[in-house]
Amino acid sequence: SQQGEEDPQALSIQEGENATMNCSYKTSINNLQWYRQNSGRGLVHLILIRSNEREKHSGRLRVTLDTSKKSSSLLITASRAADTASYFCATEPNQAGTALIFGKGTTLSVSS
Amino acid sequence: KAGVTQTPRYLIKTRGQQVTLSCSPISGHRSVSWYQQTPGQGLQFLFEYFSETQRNKGNFPGRFSGRQFSNSRSEMNVSTLELGDSALYLCASSLLTSGSSTDTQYFGPGTRLTVL
């Protein structure tokens, strides 16, 4: 069953604007990861945030994690057309021997 | 380092046939996971292998099976194909060095399977 649920399902913005995607999950986690997928291809790891971290930055990416609300957000600043892709959050439940669980993703479209 | 490779990239089969997909992980990675991606169900975990042992298994029927070889390369097999098995099958490898049971996954480009 899906643990992470991304919101919104789809997002269309102009180049230069910021894009914010949210992820909610159900159970306690060890870490939460964000991945990007370009149309029909493999996923690319973007960033991992551990349960004891609240915010993390990587280039134009900023991820926050609120374990009390069981939610995370991914902010992409100054979006570019090349950021057009689907973005997935994946959670590692705090339960031994459990695999990553992916959400259904947010499709981001950045137009120039 | 070379990335995760998957073969074949595209495959067309008919119902009832069986198929074997192959995945070569990044050199040094000992964990290989398989996922099925469909528009309706999204990314669903199939199974994970670590050092030739299945460590985790998702909620898929027994028609889906896998194995891992001593060089960490992995194969998955689907027997008696059904139309609903049409999907993008993704393989991912990881180092498992952080102490966490699941580390960053490095994905291959996937195998697009079409069942007619």
Residue B102: pLDDT over 90? no
Token pair in block for residue B91: 């393989």
Facing B107 at nearest CB: one of A2, A43, A96: A43
Q: Using the beta-carbon criterion (under 8 Å), do A40 and B88 form an inter-chain contact?
A: yes
Average pLDDT, integer, range B57-83: 96
The Cα–Cα gap between B5 and B16 comes to: 27
Number of neighbouring beta carbons within 10 Å of residue B8: 12
- The torsion angles phi and psi of B85, rounded to 5 degrees, stand at -80, -5
Beta strands in chain A (DSSP E): 5-7, 10-14, 19-24, 29-37, 43-50, 55-58, 61-66, 71-76, 85-93, 101-102, 106-111
Give the mean pLDDT per block of 10 residues along chain A (112 residues).
Answer: 76 97 92 91 92 96 97 97 96 79 93 92
**C-alpha dist (Å) from residue B19 to A89, B38, B82:** 30, 18, 11
Q: Which residue type, as a one-letter code, is found at position B26?
A: I
Give the distance from residue A89's alpha carbon to the nearest chain B alpha carbon, in angstroms: 11
Residue of B nearest to A47 (CA): B104
Segment B10-30 shows an average pLDDT of 96
Distance in angstroms (rounded) separating the CA atoms of residues A102 and B56: 15
From chain A, which residues contact B within 8 Å (Cβ)? 2, 30-31, 33, 35, 40-45, 48, 88, 90, 92, 96-105
Distances (CA, A) of A59 to A8, A76, B112: 23, 9, 32
Q: Pairing between strand A29-37 and A43-50?
A: antiparallel
In this model, does residue B79 exceed pLDDT 50? Answer: yes
- Is residue B99 over pLDDT 60? no
**Whole-angstrom distance, CA of residue B69 vs CA of residue B50:** 10
Task: Give me the residue label for tokens 């950021």.
Answer: A83
Q: Cβ distance A33 to B104 under 8 Å?
A: yes
Mean pLDDT on B5-30: 96
pLDDT value at residue A88? 95
- Return the residue in B104, B106, B112 with the most chain A beta carbons within 10 A, the one to mutate for interface testing: B104
Q: What percent of chain B is modeled with pLDDT above 70? A: 94
Residue B27, both tokens: 């050199």
Which pLDDT band holds residue B97 (cuts at 50, 70, 90)?
A: low
Spatial separation of the C-alpha atoms in residues B15 and B115, rounded to whole Å:
6
Using only C-alpha atoms, what is the Rg of chain B? 14
- Residue B96 pLDDT level (bands cut at 50, 70, 90): confident
Subunit contact A88:B58, Cβ cutoff 8 A: no
Residues 18 through 77 of chain B touching chain A, CB cutoff 8 Å: 33, 35, 42-45, 48, 55-56, 58
Q: What percent of chain B has pLDDT over 90?
A: 77
Cα Rg of chain A, angstroms: 13
